């Protein structure tokens, strides 16, 4: 065979990126497209970039209701604005002091170091930014971002995001981490990535060793469905955790994909077994073209309630909704309170046991802590 025809290197992440499915022809080699799926390819250009690695495509089946297929495959309903449809659901452009930095909370910032992903998830919240130029950040964008972080000593945590930071070469990523670590007041670095899900061959010892140099570095993965936890993905997670990189998972509840307590339970337990802590379970943001992928708040609350008590606290993710327009995250906790009065409150627990918790007697409550006197000891 001619060497040029033998371009098959499955375990090589660069091959996975190079061989990604982008056009209708590519997708038709893998899937029997439904009329609704064909429609979006027949437009001049889908509003949101289309792309999937061969690896992730192989996790999907040809069934139109397949959960992984729903994440990667564009659908005609993306043209339906539904009940709420926002270009920038979290109003990040309003908290964007310099290109690539989102500063919404007092002590932590997002640093969008690339707009590229190896799979464009159809529910992406940052469609206004993700997958447009498919470029690395320019030199002045990097420098302005670093300058902003340097000049804001209240920033203790930098969250590398995008796009997907692990689409960068290890060398490039390491250079950025090196620059951030030089800033004294930055304590924690987080990396948000879906590469362990959609291209686990990206994770190798070389990458992990580099990350380890800049500790404490936390990894935030984004598994949505137990079927994404393949042997390759599990090996990638193990490599991070074995090398001392604490790993957390953020999932998004998606209609027809994972909006059932049985699915969330299976995902969370398997992640925990792999030493990955389920962190957030997000309500899907009303990003444009996602109405058909969103769950109702009631549906999400019901799932959270069904998990409560039955799942180890270590495996339990926190249901969270991002207030549209940049209000920040709100945690949704099931309400177990049945009644309250001045002396206490009654609760009914996860298995229906009800009892009252009574507050301590006011005469036994000591003086409030004098924070100024003792603050030197904190």
Using the rule CB under 6 A, is 164 a contact of ligand SF4? yes
Supply φ then ψ for residue 124, to 5 degrees: -50, 135
Instruction: Round to whole Å and give the CA distance between 206 and 209.
Output: 5
Q: Which of 69, 108, 227, 294 is catalytic?
A: 108
# binding residues, ligand PLP (CB under 6 A): 7
| C-alpha torsion sign, points 134, 77, 293, 198 | negative
Using the rule CB under 6 A, is 104 a contact of ligand PLP? yes
**322 flagged as catalytic:** yes
CB atoms < 10 A from the CB of 374, how many?
9
User: What are the start-end ranges of the H helices in the chain?
Assistant: 13-18, 24-30, 35-42, 54-59, 67-72, 139-150, 170-181, 195-198, 205-213, 231-242, 261-273, 297-307, 371-374
Instruction: Round to whole Å and give the CA distance between 291 and 89.
Output: 13
Q: Which of 26, 66, 115, 285 is catalytic?
A: 285
**Which residues, numbered 151-180, are part of the site for ligand PLP (CB under 6 A)?**
159
- Cβ 130 to ligand SF4 shortest distance, Å: 5
Instruction: Round to whole Å and give the CA distance between 128 and 124.
Output: 9
Residues ≥6 apart with Cβ < 8 Å to 45: none
**If DSSP codes are grouped into helix, strand and coil, which group holds residue 194?**
coil
**Which residues, numbered 313-352, are part of the site for ligand PLP (CB under 6 A)?**
329
**If DSSP codes are grouped into helix, strand and coil, which group holds residue 84?**
coil
Using the rule CB under 6 A, is 225 a contact of ligand SF4? no
Task: Assess contact for 311 and 269: CB atoms under 8 A.
Answer: yes
Using the rule CB under 6 A, is 128 a contact of ligand PLP? no
- Cβ 328 to ligand PLP shortest distance, Å: 7
Instruction: Round to whole Å and give the CA distance between 3 and 349.
Output: 65
**108 flagged as catalytic:** yes
**269 flagged as catalytic:** no
- Cβ 352 to ligand PLP shortest distance, Å: 32
Q: Which stretch binds ligand PLP (CB under 6 A): 103-111, 165-173, 207-215, 223-231?
A: 103-111
Q: Which stretch binds ligand SF4 (CB under 6 A): 12-20, 35-43, 119-127, 228-236?
A: 119-127
Using the rule CB under 6 A, is 105 a contact of ligand PLP? yes
Residues ≥6 apart with Cβ < 8 Å to 208: 239, 240, 243, 245
Q: Which of 105, 128, 214, 347 is catalytic?
A: 105
117 binds, among ligand SF4, ligand PLP, none (CB under 5 to 8 A by kind): ligand SF4
State which residue, 73 or 117, has the beta carbon closest to ligand SF4.
117
Using the rule CB under 6 A, is 126 a contact of ligand SF4? yes
Using the rule CB under 6 A, is 27 a contact of ligand SF4? no
Catalytic residues, by residue number, are 104-105, 108, 117, 121, 124, 126, 285, 322, 329
Residues near ligand PLP (CB under 6 A) are: 102, 104-105, 108, 110, 159, 329
Residues near ligand SF4 (CB under 6 A) are: 117, 120-121, 124, 126, 130, 162-164, 194
């Amino acid at each position: 065979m001619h060497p040029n025809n033998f371009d098959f290197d499955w375990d090589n992440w660069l091959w996975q990126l190079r061989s990604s499915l982008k056009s209708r022809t590519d997708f038709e080699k893998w899937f029997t497209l439904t009329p609704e799926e064909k429609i979006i390819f027949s437009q001049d250009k889908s509003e949101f970039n289309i792309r999937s690695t061969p690896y992730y495509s192989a996790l999907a089946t040809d069934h139109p209701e397949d959960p992984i297929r729903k994440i990667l495959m564009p659908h005609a309903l993306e043209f339906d604005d539904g009940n709420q449809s926002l270009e920038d659901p979290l109003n990040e452009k309003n908290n964007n002091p310099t290109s690539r930095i989102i500063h919404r909370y007092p002590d932590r910032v997002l640093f969008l170091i690339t707009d590229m992903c190896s799979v464009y998830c159809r529910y992406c919240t940052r469609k206004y930014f993700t997958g447009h130029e498919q470029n690395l950040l320019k030199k002045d964008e990097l420098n302005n971002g670093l300058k902003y972080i340097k000049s804001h000593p209240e920033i203790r945590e930098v969250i590398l995001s995008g796009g997907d930071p692990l689409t960068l070469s290890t060398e490039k990523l390491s250079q950025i981490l090196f620059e951030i670590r030089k800033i004294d007041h930055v304590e924690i670095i987080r990396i948000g990535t879906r590469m362990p899900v959609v291209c686990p061959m990206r994770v190798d010892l070389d990458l992990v060793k580099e990350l380890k140099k800049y500790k404490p570095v936390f990894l935030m993965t984004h598994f949505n469905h137990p079927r994404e936890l393949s042997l390759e993905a599990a090996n990638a997670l193990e490599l991070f955790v074995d090398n001392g990189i604490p790993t957390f998972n953020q999932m998004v509840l998606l209609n027809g994909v994972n909006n059932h307590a049985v699915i969330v339970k299976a995902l969370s337990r398997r992640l925990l077994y792999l030493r990955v802590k389920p962190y957030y379970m997000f309500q899907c943001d009303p990003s444009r073209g996602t109405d058909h992928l969103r769950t109702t708040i009631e549906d999400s609350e019901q799932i959270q309630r069904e998990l409560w008590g039955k799942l180890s606290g270590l495996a339990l993710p926190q249901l969270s909704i991002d207030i549209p327009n940049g209000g920040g995250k709100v945690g949704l906790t099931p309400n177990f309170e049945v009644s309250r009065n001045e002396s206490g409150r009654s609760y009914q627990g996860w298995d229906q046991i009800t009892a009252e918790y009574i507050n301590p007697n006011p005469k036994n409550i000591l003086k409030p802590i004098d924070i100024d006197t003792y603050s030197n000891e904190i």
